[in-house]
């Protein structure tokens, strides 16, 4: 488990599209286009949320290839569990992340 900025994490998870992205990417890796359609939001919104989630290491990005040999990014959820607590230092968050199948180390 790793510690995270609880306030920032709560703000991020408070966004409905972020929660939907996490749910959809926990099922299988998905492209930004697939996520935009599944979450019923624009691609620019999806890309902003993906950047925020990647910045917190909650998503893993992998390169995929289509039938024509073109490449695109697919995203997989790394978040398994979040635990929030309150203590003398304020709010704290512990994150439990999974490792992508192809991760090193």
CA within 13 Å, CB half, 72: 12
Let me know: does 3 contact 94? Beta carbons within 8 Å.
yes
Residue 76 has pLDDT above 80, yes or no: yes
Q: For domain 10-78, which CATH number applies: 3.20.10.10, 3.30.1380.20, 1.20.1580.10, 1.10.10.10?
A: 1.10.10.10
Residue 85 burial class via C-beta count within 10 angstroms: exposed 0-12, middle 13-18, buried 19 and up: exposed
What are the pLDDT digits (tens) for 3-39?
568 888 999 999 999 999 999 999 999 999 999 999 9
Domain ranges of the chain: 10-78
Q: Residue 105's pLDDT band (boundaries 50, 70, 90)?
A: very low
Give the residue with greater pLDDT, 6 vs 74. 74
């Amino acid at each position: 488990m790793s510690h995270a900025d609880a306030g920032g994490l709560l703000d991020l998870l408070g966004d409905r599209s972020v929660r939907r992205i996490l749910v959809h990417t926990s099922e299988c890796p998905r492209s930004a286009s697939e996520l935009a359609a599944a979450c019923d939001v624009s691609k620019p919104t999806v890309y902003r949320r993906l950047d925020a989630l990647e910045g917190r290491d909650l998503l893993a990005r992998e390169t995929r290839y289509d039938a024509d040999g073109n490449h695109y990014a697919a995203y997989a959820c790394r978040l398994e569990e979040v635990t929030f607590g309150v203590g003398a230092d304020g709010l704290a968050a512990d994150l439990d992340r999974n490792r992508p199948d192809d991760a090193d180390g």
